[in-house]
Amino acid sequence: MPAPGRSCPAAYYYGARALHGEPSLVVDTLWLAGGLYGNPLALEALLGAYESERGAKALVFNGDFHWFDGDAADFARINDTVLAFCATRGNVETELATPQEGAGCGCGYPDWVGDETVARSNRILERLRATAQRVPRALTALAALPMYLVAQVGDARIGVVHGDTESLAGWGFSQEALATEDGLQRAREAFERAGVEIFACSHTCLPVLQRFSGGRFVVNNGAAGMPNFRASRYGLATRIALAPARESIYGVRRGALHIEAVPLRYDHAAWERRFLEQWPPGSDAHASYYQRIVAGPDYQFGDAARTGADSIPGRIRAPSPNSNTLPSGM
């Protein structure tokens, strides 16, 4: 029996064939914001950017929109705002609304994540559960959310998941798994079984845009509510659309489609204050995440944007020069 936080409960499995159905969204512009992690400033930045889009559009919060919002008022506000758009459940929302026996945080952490981190995540979830229980209407709504959905933009069917092609908390679309031949082969097989051209995911906290033969892509936005690159202070969303984004950190053309990682330039100082009010030094979230919040993870643009050996014509754009990076030395 795996330890809490290491397991992927049976109820999390849907399998790639579940994605074979008709698309529930058919739009010209699709935004995906996984891993908001309870950051209201990132939510504000996201909605501001999304509002400026014209034409047929949809915004999907594909899971883990709660995490640091231990304050009940923040939790309720984020819940109400997110659920006014499309949303799918992440492991966080699932473990709040319908706790699975022995799942802990439900993250399904792989071996490369240390035991202390896993234990802290389990305790963060417990605290968040106490908050969520003070907002019963939120729990009912979260329990009713789907685990995945299918969208269509142009000629591409897009499987929108939180984890991977098999499970809500799978790590098959992590940058680590997609750095191995075994992981790439599993993804190739998943495209066939799911009948999609693009998988859009989150959950594993680091972004990756991986190209496969036949115009197929896995695009993982990392975190909407936390920095994703060394010395940066903005979140990332995925934008898949028939017209290019005003700004993107990197991206690729797929025929008429633009698949891009767009920055969410939130008010860092305000977010840092709000985070510290809820998770001061000595708290579990502070120990696990504060360094990342102020200085980013040890990860760079080039680590995320992967053309692959079997590329199709297209162009990965260079990082934007104005990318909210910190002064050197931080």
Among 89, 120, 203, 274, binds Fe ion (CB under 5 A): 203
Compute the distance between CA of residue 324 and CA of residue 56 in angstroms, rounded to an integer.
Answer: 30
Which residue lies nearer to Fe ion by CB, 156 or 161?
A: 161
CB of 154 to Fe ion, least distance (A): 28
Q: Out of 40, 61, 64, 159, name the contact with Fe ion by CB under 5 A.
A: 64
With CB atoms as reference, the residue minimizing the distance to Fe ion is 203
**93 is a site residue for Fe ion (CB under 5 A):** no
CB of 64 to Fe ion, least distance (A): 4
Q: Does 7 bind Fe ion (CB under 5 A)?
A: no
Q: Is 242 left (phi over 0), alpha (psi -120 to 50) or beta?
A: alpha
Q: State which of residues 7, 39, 91, 121 lies at the interface with Fe ion (CB under 5 A).
A: 91
94 binds Fe ion (CB under 5 A): no
CB of 156 to Fe ion, least distance (A): 24
90 binds Fe ion (CB under 5 A): yes
Contact at 8 Å (CB) between 239 and 248? Answer: yes
CB 64 within 8 Å of CB 37:
yes
Tokens standing for residue 166: 């098999």
Cα(11)–Cα(282) distance, rounded to whole angstroms?
Answer: 34
Identify whether the C-beta of residue 104 lies closer than 8 Å to the C-beta of residue 121. yes
Distance in Å, CB of 163 to Fe ion, minimum: 7
Q: Does 66 bind Fe ion (CB under 5 A)?
A: no
Residue type, 44: E
Tell me which residue has tokens 């035991």: 115
Nearest partner of 185 among 234, 218, 227, judged by Cα:
218
6 part of the interface to Fe ion, by CB under 5 A: no
CB of residue 63 to Fe ion, shortest distance in Å: 6
Does 89 interact with Fe ion (rule: CB under 5 A)?
no
Q: Between 96 and 153, whose beta carbon lies closer to Fe ion?
A: 96
| Min CB(288)–Fe ion separation in Å | 14
Q: Burial code of 203-222, b = ≥16 C-beta within 10 A, e = fewer? A: bbbbbbbbbbeebbbbbbbb
Q: Does 74 bind Fe ion (CB under 5 A)?
A: no
Question: 3-state DSSP call for residue 31?
Answer: strand
Residues that bind Fe ion (CB under 5 A): 64, 90-91, 203
